[in-house]
Amino acid sequence: MTCLIACLSTGKGTWGHVSRVIKDGEWEKVILITNDFGKENFTAEKPAEMIVINDRQGLEEIRDEIKKQLNGKLTGTEAALNIVSGTGKEHTALISAVLQLGFGIRFVALTKDGIKEI
């Protein structure tokens, strides 16, 4: 099984999307990249670990924080990423952190036919 890493941030309706990806998928582990608001207000139907970032920081600072908190938590050679929620800065920081840790990525999303690799 693959670890899922999902941005949980801004965007109308995106929390519902992330929730369904978590619920409907078979994941070894779920890690959410979020801010303080997301940590306090989001509940998932399956266990999920949250990495809280300060989205007001610069791109490199966010990348380094994600990288620091992800280090040692992923298994295998790749991670499934869902970036439907969030900003370009958060997405760039997340992708960079995962790649710098030496993992491959595959993008996953909820479609009308269920969860698919995009």
Is residue 20 scored above 90 in pLDDT?
yes
Tens digit of each residue's pLDDT (9 = 90 or more) over 48-107: 999 999 999 999 999 999 999 999 999 999 999 999 999 999 999 999 999 999 999 999
CA distance 113 to 118: 12
Q: Rg of the chain over CA atoms, in angstroms?
A: 13
What was the pLDDT predicted at 12?
Answer: 76
Q: Which domains does the chain have, with CATH numbers?
A: 24-117 (3.40.50)
What was the pLDDT predicted at 11?
Answer: 74
CA distance 117 to 10: 22
CA distance 82 to 48: 14
Largest interatomic CA distance in the chain: 37
